[in-house]
């Protein structure tokens, strides 16, 4: 035990003396969460839109006034014919076009139903989605006001259409994603680098010719990073709660336990990488290309898995991050308990055991 403590103390010396890495270690999560948070905010303000009012009656005018009055939109153009829609989008002047059908007001009164088309520029999918939701909300509110004084159920039906990216299906949930990426990066990359550094500097040679057992070396290596990663996870959750008001609907305790599980999964991956790479550079490349990219691209963090081609969907199952993102989304946003994420948790546990098993088997007690 004393040997182990001595080893861990040495690891902390390494970490705290490498000021640059330490800065990245703690600066990166904060920078990333702030960047993602502010760049991918769900708030929209003064978005330029255009109106194509084919009805040109009292009702449509009223709705247009309501929209113009909201702080979210500013109407910059009134267009006359449908064919101008495309060109106005292409110019990039507006993010959305609101199109009222012919006889909008009449339809609403006679047929009790009228249609509005909301066309959004989905080159920025997140924005498009938000705009569409905001406009629907305004229409709904107007509809409620209409229906308040009468027994007749008038309905305004907004028909949202995304242009340029029609299959957009999900919204970004950046907090779970960023958390996953950071934990993966810190845990896997840092451990693999720190183990390969011993090989590169030749100190592994002395460590091997010592009574230290392989598991003591490995646990000693990962122990400090569990500690650092937990701190990172806490920082990320605190930032998302207090800066971005992301709710934590589920149990914080469960979130903590699941995070530690994922950290251990990533550390196990880091050890695995270090057993197959001889230099720090190789370890870094494998971590970046082999872990970071799939974690960002295939985990559902940025691109929804359901819209991926089938082979990629299959591959995404072996990405630990995918399961962790489902867990974090579930706990933070849906507020679900362990019962609903049992499968995902079990998968992560199995993956961790597998990685550790392979690492122990591949760990070299000699030099070759």
Partner 1 sequence: MGISVSNITKSYGKVTALSDISFDVKPGELFGLIGPDGAGKTTLFRILTTLLIADKGQATVAGYDVLKEYKSIRNSVGYMPGRFSLYQDLTVEENLNFFATIFGTTIEENYDLVKDIYVQIEPFKTRRAGKLSGGMKQKLALSCALIHKPKVLFLDEPTTGVDPVSRKEFWEMLKRLQKKDITILVSTPYMDEAALCDRIALIQDGKILQIDTPNAIVSHFPKPLYNISANDMYGLIESLTNYKHTYSIFPFGEFVHYTDKRDTMDIERLKTYLESQNLTDIHIEKTQPTIEDTFMELAK
Give the residues lining the site for partner 1 (CB under 8 A): 2-3, 5-7, 9-10, 13-14, 17-18, 201-203, 205-212, 365-368
Nearer to partner 1, 5 or 31 (CB): 5
Q: Least distance to partner 1 from the beta carbon of 206, Å?
A: 5
Q: Least distance to partner 1 from the beta carbon of 285, Å?
A: 23
Beta carbons of 198 and 367 less than 8 angstroms apart: no
Per-residue tokens: 241: 């709660």
Nearer to partner 1, 190 or 351 (CB): 190
Greatest Cα-to-Cα distance within the chain, rounded to the nearest angstrom: 91
Alpha carbons 275 and 270: distance in angstroms, whole number: 9
Per-residue tokens: 15: 């970490």
Please list, residue by residue across 336-348, b when 16 or more beta carbons sit within 10 angstroms of its beta carbon and e when fewer do: beeeebeebbebb
Nearer to partner 1, 166 or 365 (CB): 365
The 3-class secondary structure across 136-161, one letter per residue, is HHHHHHHHHHHHHCCCCCCEEEEEEE
The 3-class secondary structure across 103-132, one letter per residue, is CHHHHHHHCCEEEEEEEEECCCHHHHHHHH
Q: Least distance to partner 1 from the beta carbon of 223, Å?
A: 15
Nearer to partner 1, 17 or 361 (CB): 17
Nearer to partner 1, 71 or 366 (CB): 366
Q: CA–CA distance from 280 to each of 14, 193, 198 (Å)?
A: 15, 5, 9
Nearer to partner 1, 43 or 368 (CB): 368
Q: Least distance to partner 1 from the beta carbon of 204, Å?
A: 8
Nearer to partner 1, 8 or 351 (CB): 8
Please choose, from the candidates 272, 252, 254, the residue with its C-alpha nearest in 3D space to the C-alpha of residue 264.
Answer: 272
Alpha carbons 14 and 193: distance in angstroms, whole number: 12
> How big is the chain by its Cα radius of gyration, in Å?
27
Q: Least distance to partner 1 from the beta carbon of 18, Å?
A: 7
Nearer to partner 1, 10 or 93 (CB): 10
Q: Least distance to partner 1 from the beta carbon of 365, Å?
A: 8
Q: Least distance to partner 1 from the beta carbon of 8, Å?
A: 11
Q: Least distance to partner 1 from the beta carbon of 194, Å?
A: 12
Dihedral (CA of 225, 228, 232, 234) sign:
positive
């Amino acid at each position: 035990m004393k040997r182990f403590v001595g080893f861990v103390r040495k690891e902390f010396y390494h970490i705290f003396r490498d000021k640059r890495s330490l800065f990245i270690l703690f600066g990166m999560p904060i920078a990333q969460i702030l960047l993602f948070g502010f760049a991918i905010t769900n708030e929209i303000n003064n978005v330029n839109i255009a109106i194509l009012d084919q009805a040109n009656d009292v009702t449509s005018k009223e709705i247009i006034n309501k929209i113009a009055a909201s702080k979210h939109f500013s109407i910059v153009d009134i267009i006359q014919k449908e064919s101008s829609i495309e060109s106005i989008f292409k110019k990039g002047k507006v993010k959305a076009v609101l199109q009222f059908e012919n006889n909008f007001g009449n339809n609403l009164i006679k047929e009790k139903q009228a249609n509005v088309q909301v066309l959004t520029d989905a080159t920025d999918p997140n924005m498009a989605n938000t705009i569409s939701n905001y406009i629907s909300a305004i229409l709904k509110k107007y509809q409620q006001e209409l229906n308040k004084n009468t027994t007749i159920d008038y309905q305004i039906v907004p028909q949202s259409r995304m242009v340029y990216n029609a299959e957009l299906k999900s919204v970004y949930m950046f907090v779970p994603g960023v958390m996953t990426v950071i934990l993966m990066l810190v845990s896997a990359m840092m451990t693999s680098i720190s183990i390969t550094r011993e090989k590169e500097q030749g100190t592994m040679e002395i460590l091997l010719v010592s009574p230290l057992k392989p598991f003591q070396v490995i646990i000693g290596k990962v122990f400090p990073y569990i500690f650092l990663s937990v701190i990172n996870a806490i920082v990320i959750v605190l930032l998302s709660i207090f800066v971005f008001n992301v709710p934590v609907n589920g149990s914080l305790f469960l979130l903590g336990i699941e995070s530690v599980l994922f950290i251990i999964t990533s550390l196990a991956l880091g050890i695995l990488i270090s057993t197959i790479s001889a230099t720090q550079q190789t370890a870094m490349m494998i971590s970046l290309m082999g872990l970071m990219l799939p974690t960002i691209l295939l985990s559902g963090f940025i691109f929804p898995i359901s819209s991926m081609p089938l082979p990629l969907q299959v591959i995404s199952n072996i990405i630990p991050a995918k399961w962790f993102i489902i867990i974090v989304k579930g706990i933070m946003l849906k507020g679900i308990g362990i019962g609903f994420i049992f499968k995902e948790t079990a998968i992560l546990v199995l993956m961790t055991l597998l990685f550790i098993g392979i690492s122990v088997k591949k760990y070299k007690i000699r030099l070759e």
